[in-house]
A and B are shown apart, each in its own frame.
Chain A
Amino acid sequence: MSKDEIIAAIRKNKPAETALPSIPAFTYAQGELLPTFITMVEAGGGRVIEASSPDELPALASTLFPDAEIIASSLPEIKGNVRLSDIGQPQKLEPVDAAVIRGQLGVAENGAIWASEADCGHRVLPFITQHLAIVLAPEDLVCNMHEAYSRIQVNATGFGLFIAGPSKTADIEQSLVIGAQGARSLAVILLPRTD
């Protein structure tokens, strides 16, 4: 069997065991988190909107997506007009103009936001939608990827991801184009926790 052959070849050929290095804590001052995060999201082509209460969300969604006919949301505060729980075939989400999902944690050093499939409402939603907004609590910012991975559990759900901006490409002559195969825009809504 190929597995046995491969494992046997590795055993025969591998070098003497070396120690696994431990990763030190690389952290900077907490006060810098928010401005750094905002700068990085903007550098990645996204924009940041600061909200103060969940009641503002529906109005905010309308301002953000004035032309959107079909809005899907994984947050109870924003109704939208797609019931994600009824969507069986992911292809049915193709007409979605705008989606709002929840982010669990934001990373200051690169503007990336972690969302599990539960936060996304549907695995394909953050990609297939034309425009995306992520609601994130500023309390859930961490300084870097080390801290991020120590907070999240990557296998808590079957799928999870970091999103750091709108879909982009530079595959034609290195010129940057926003809106490749995924969402054409990203808005990060910072909403302080109420609990």
Chain B
Amino acid sequence: MKQHADKAADFLRNEARADWHDEALWFVRAKRDKATHGVPEWETLRELASGIKEHTLSNLDGYLEQFEANARQNGVYVHWASNAAEHNSIVHGILIAHEVKRLVKSKSMLTEECGLNEYLAEHGIEVVDTDLGERIIQLKGEPPSHIVMPAIHLKKEEVGELFHEKLQTEQGASDPKYLTEAARQHLRKKFLAAQAALTGVNFAIAQTGGVVVCTNEGNADMGVHLAPLQIHSMGIEKVIPRAEHLGVFTRLLARSATGQPITIYTSHYHRPKAGGEMHIVIVDNGRSAQLGRQGYRNALKCIRCGACMNTCPIYRRSGGHSYGYTIPGPIGSILTPGISLERYSNLPFASTLCGSCSDVCPVKINIHEQLYNWRQDIAKAGHLPVAKKQGMRWAGLVLARPKWYGAFGKLARWAIRRLPRFMLYNSLNLWGKGRDLPEPPEQSFKEWYHKNRIKK
């Protein structure tokens, strides 16, 4: 399997495109900053959000049971799924019972995680993703590269070409307005013909047994209110105690995600429509195990705003697909090792540990500290690649011996100055692959100190 660094190298081969991607995401980060600066109590809100989530996780069983009881009282069917396969088969079962052949879906990273689309397609059910970005990548046959902007890696010309092929738009047309209108017409037909709608869940309210879904396009509601059957899939960590807590989270979510003061639609679903049916599927799929990992459980506070991706210098310059998981970027890099330490052992290293992710996180997850801690765990479990392992071993030996350290320093300063380039930059120098070695100083600090301070 290709590692993150390899896929990042592929991404960077097209320099102009990498620059464009970098700038597009930084633009969103800048909008986020502007939006947050308009809220004087921003830091207090982050504290509150983190505290509310902390409390909820400490009584997650209680809140989930309360949520289930209240939802049932509202006339909602509640299902529990231990893993992705069970989630998919529950959803499929509901669809079979209603003889559903056409399903519309709004954005749900959970169903991406579970591979629901592929599963339902194998069983002869048409699934149409209705968020524009999601529809684009679905038509292209690609996974999302960002959790909020799934098609951020594509240029408008590529979308134009794709729509020309799939939706019969004019050849060469790439105006976003024109393409969006074409998608609107195409999706309207799908909404009207759908027999069921499935959404993700942003928040589930324990006290009232309802779920909240946030969109800008209105696609979740177009699906849910038109189809007689509505299904909402949620991870166990989506529950919050009371409706009043939405006050905190709705103020943080959109500002962190796109720099908007709130999403255009914040929909609260509590009971099915007249003559309709409403189902909620509560999914674990590794989350309860994550809850047991003391140093890492905080990651379950995540409200999926994507701010950590937009700010991350590695994400911006490697693209979402380089991570090889539904949720990329810094948050993905601390969630994935819990799923498979071996498979995702390279992701916690896809970071400079600059800490910007933790600074922008609206629920104050200590992302960069967790990245650092995962590295220790990965090394202990023996999943480091040979080069890193040997490099660490030698560095350890040298750094533990002051005399060796002094000698190596001298040697290195001499070598960088004197040796020809081909001897310094070769397959042994991984660090120098994309970077120049630093200008060597005339002397080490120690030498300077002995000369200038101790003698006097």
- Measuring CB to CB, which residues of chain A are less than 8 angstroms from any residue of chain B? 1-3, 5-7, 9-21, 23-24, 26, 40, 43-44, 90-91, 94, 107, 109-112, 122-124, 126-128, 144-150, 154-155, 157-175, 177, 179-183
Contact present for B265 and A163 (CB under 8 Å): yes
Q: How far is the CB of B152 from chain A (nearest CB, A)?
A: 7
**Residue from the list A24, A160, A171 in contact with B268, Cβ < 8 A:** A160
Are A10 and B217 in contact, CB atoms less than 8 angstroms apart?
Answer: no
Q: Could you tell me if B268 and A172 are in contact, using CB atoms closer than 8 angstroms?
A: no
Q: How far is the CA of A128 from the CA of B244 in the complex (A)?
A: 29
Residues from chain A with a CB closer than 8 A to the CB of B64 are 6-7, 10
- CB A195 to nearest CB in B, in angstroms, measures 27
Q: How far is the CA of A164 from the CA of B60 in the complex (A)?
A: 32
Q: Residue B241 at the A interface, CB < 8 A?
A: yes
**Interface flag for B155 (CB, 8 Å):** yes
CB of A161 to closest CB in B, whole Å:
4
The answer to whether A182 touches B28 (Cβ under 8 A) is no
A109 to B45, CA, bound (A): 14
> Whole-angstrom distance from the CB of B395 to the nearest CB of chain A?
36
Q: Which one, A144, A155, A168, contacts B270 given CB within 8 A?
A: A155
- Is B58's CB under 8 angstroms from A167's CB? no
B226 touches A124 (CB 8 A): yes
The distance from the CB of B165 to the nearest CB of chain A, in whole angstroms, is 16
> Which A residues are in CB contact (< 8 Å) with B268?
154-155, 159-161
Asked if B181 and A179 make an inter-chain contact with CB atoms under 8 angstroms apart, the answer reads yes
Q: Which residues of A contact B149 (CB under 8 A)?
A: 170-171, 174
Instruction: Let me know if B101 is at the binding interface, CB within 8 A.
Output: no
| Chain A residues, Cβ within 8 Å of B27 | 174
List of A residues within 8 angstroms of B221 by Cβ: 123-124, 126-127, 161, 182
- From known contacts A7-B65, A10-B291, A167-B218, infer whether A149 and B266 are also in contact, taking CB-CB under 8 Å: no
A residues less than 8 Å from B236 (CB atoms): 6, 10
Q: Please, which residues of chain A bring their CB within 8 A of the CB of B18?
A: none
- The answer on a CB contact under 8 Å between A154 and B208 is yes
Count contacts between A and B, CB distance < 8 Å.
266
Residues of B with C-beta under 8 A to A174: 24, 27-28, 149, 152
Q: Can you report 22 residue pairs joining A to B where beta carbons are below 8 Å apart?
A: A3-B80, A5-B284, A13-B292, A15-B57, A15-B294, A19-B55, A20-B55, A44-B261, A44-B264, A123-B225, A124-B221, A124-B222, A160-B270, A161-B267, A164-B265, A168-B217, A170-B149, A172-B132, A175-B176, A180-B184, A180-B219, A182-B222
| Contact B58–A154 (Cβ < 8 Å) | no
Q: Is the CB of A179 within 8 A of B184?
A: yes
SS of A interface (majority): loop
Q: A180 contacts B244, CB within 8 Å? A: no
Q: Is the C-beta of B187 less than 8 angstroms from some C-beta in chain A?
A: yes
A163 to B264, Cβ gap below 8 A?
Answer: yes
Contacting pair B284 A6 (CB below 8 A): yes
B217 touches A181 (CB 8 A): yes
Q: Does the CB pair A177–B292 fall under 8 Å? A: no
Complex: A90 Cα to B48 Cα, angstroms:
40
CA–CA, A19 to B57, complex, Å?
11
Give Cα A175 to B151, complex, Å: 12
Interface assignment of B352: CB less than 8 Å from any CB of chain A: no
Interface string of B108-121 (1 = CB under 8 A from A): 00000000000000
On whether A23 and B244 interact (CB within 8 A), knowing A11-B61, A127-B225, A174-B28, the answer reads: yes
Q: List, in ascending order, chain A residues with CB within 8 A of B267's CB.
A: 159-161
A181 cross-chain contacts in B, Cβ below 8 A: 130, 132, 184, 187-188, 191, 217-219, 222
CB distance A168 to B188 under 8 Å?
no
Write out the residue numbers on chain A whose beta carbons fall within 8 Å of the beta carbon of B130.
181
Of A15, A16, A91, most buried by chain B (CB within 10 Å of CB) is A15
Nearest neighbor of B163 in chain A, beta-carbon distance: A172
Measured between beta carbons, the chain A residues less than 8 angstroms from B60 are 10, 14
Alpha-carbon distance between A73 and B248 when the two chains are bound, in angstroms: 33
Which of A17, A44, A124, A179 has the most chain B CB atoms inside 10 A of its CB?
A124
Shortest distance in angstroms between A139's beta carbon and chain B's nearest beta carbon?
21
Rounded to whole angstroms, the CA-CA distance of A14 and B239 in the bound complex is: 15
* B205 cross-chain contacts in A, Cβ below 8 A: 154
**B180 within 8 Å of A by Cβ?**
yes
Does B251 have its Cβ within 8 Å of any Cβ on chain A?
yes
Once the chains are docked, how many angstroms separate the CA of A180 from the CA of B418? Answer: 62
